[in-house]
Structure 1
């Protein structure tokens, strides 16, 4: 689902330009047109005043389908993040390493990924949009993945933005490309630095082992391909950092494979670590303040999945639930076909810690 998503950009011959004059370096993002079909635009959207550290910005956010959309250039002008543009792929990039946001503008919309990981199907609406010839990014995307937080003032209809306090670590990408005549095999996995040596070695060994095992399995499958028939096989792994605060690091990896047929398949895995000792955190470690957390989660999951799940699927809390931590709480997910048809993708459900734990409980106390 992630690597195979393609965005055709031939129609927009000159791409998206920064600045009111149509040149990189201005205060807005504009779309060029060619006289052919143009990007669908939203008009007359309600505005939200934007502030950064209490100072009012000249640019405003807009509300689109209930989502607060932030002008891309706010990341440059307020947060000091440079915006780069690739004229060949018609892609804008902002940020770096695991927090590098890429937006490919095409006639079909804006393809958004974080360091190669497409996040449109994760925990909410993360789709960037063209609005009146300007490129906007959902506040939810910035909040969930780029370390931005905001406080909304309903009286002033304003959103005060600021940076989150993150764990003092660095996350870079390691790449493995084992493509051959039978298959494309490309893998990215995270590498952590800035921790005690024994801690980061333990965490990094987990991701390296997972990546190497996926490559080995992919090579083995590719070796059985009949090279005289059909397209090459396709195997890829990407990742995204879903939480990096309070002494806790949560990373999601997606492994995609296509070996023929109508479509490929994706296997998702959540990895959550304590940065004190490098141990993987389980649900019981985060929810130990609530003795009945299993019963609570089981009930909430059954209620959430009842309209989607197969008639004979339990749809509740499994023996070893797949999960990760996000800025919104605990995220439980099921693999493709586990409880629902392929069209349902990877069913994903987010629960605030406050809906599970006793009032005032901090799930991260023991990891700080």
Structure 2
């Protein structure tokens, strides 16, 4: 079973359709990633979602898909997130949250690496830093950077998630971005 949300009652019906289409396409991509052209039989597939933020004209959600293939050593989970800025009516990419030209990749990489050290997280190899299009979601006053299974850590670690306070990023956050709205204390 695969569950996913639908947005309803937006002021702009076309924007609502765009959001729901983006969610549907992301769910389809996760299913395809799990099944694709693999020769093995799927014994179990579970898809869920979590609303990470739904305030201040921002909707950030994660979609997860767990699949177990027949005779596999273990199941595999993938997570993808979508962040919608209702003020600008756009789907946010990581770069959209920061001042143009700001080296957000370097800053976020340093903050993630610090957490790896502090939390003593085992890595498969040296931490390469984040990608410019790294997976993320926004949860209240945190930007959460995350990695897929086996991307940087062994399977036993699970999906490594790194919450970063918006207050640690205020100097590089674009004032017009939804992340800026999260940095307001009220």
Query: Which TM-score band applies after superposition, normalised by the shorter structure?
Result: 0.7 to 0.9
**Structure-2 change in CA distance of 1:192 and 1:300 (3 Å):** same
In structure 2, distance between residues paired with 1:220 and 1:354 = 41
Indicate conservation of the 8 Å contact 2:95/2:132, yes or no: no
Superposed CA deviations along residues 234-286 of structure 1, whole A, max 9, x for unmatched, are: 01110010001111110001011000333201001111011135421122222
Instruction: Give 3-state SS (helix, strand or coil) of 1:189's partner.
Output: coil
1:209 corresponds, among 17, 21, 25, to 25
**Structure-2 change in CA distance of 1:220 and 1:290 (3 Å):** closer
Q: Which residue of 2 aligns with 1:243?
A: 53
Q: Which residue of 2 aligns with 1:327?
A: 140
Superposed CA deviations along residues 64-94 of structure 1, whole A, max 9, x for unmatched, are: xxxxxxxxxxxxxxxxxxxxxxxxxxxxxxx
Bigger RCO (CA 8 Å, 6+ sep)? 2
Instruction: Give 3-state SS (helix, strand or coil) of 1:205's partner.
Output: helix
In structure 1, distance between residues paired with 2:122 and 2:82 = 25
Indicate conservation of the 8 Å contact 1:305/1:315, yes or no: no
Q: Which has the higher helix share?
A: 2
TM-superposed deviation, 1:315: 4.9
In structure 1, distance between residues paired with 2:3 and 2:167 = 34
Superposed CA deviations along residues 186-226 of structure 1, whole A, max 9, x for unmatched, are: 1111100121111010000011223345556667679853x
Give ranges in structure 1 of 5+ residues lacking alignment: 1-185, 226-231
In structure 2, distance between residues paired with 1:288 and 1:279 = 17
In structure 2, distance between residues paired with 1:361 and 1:208 = 29
**Please, what is the CA RMSD of the aligned residues?**
3.1
1:308 is aligned to 2:118:
no
Indicate conservation of the 8 Å contact 2:61/2:81, yes or no: yes
TM-score, with structure 1 as normaliser: 0.43
**Structure-2 change in CA distance of 1:287 and 1:222 (3 Å):** closer
Q: Which has the higher strand share?
A: 1
**Structure-2 change in CA distance of 1:198 and 1:354 (3 Å):** same
Give ranges in structure 2 of 5+ residues lacking alignment: 182-186
Q: Map of 1:223-234 to 2, 5 A cutoff?
A: 224-225=40-41, 233-234=43-44
Larger gyration radius, structure 1 or structure 2? 1
Indicate conservation of the 8 Å contact 1:290/1:358, yes or no: no
**Structure-2 change in CA distance of 1:315 and 1:286 (3 Å):** same
TM-superposed deviation, 1:316: 2.1
Indicate conservation of the 8 Å contact 2:43/2:68, yes or no: yes
TM-superposed deviation, 1:287: 2.4
1:268 is aligned to 2:82:
no
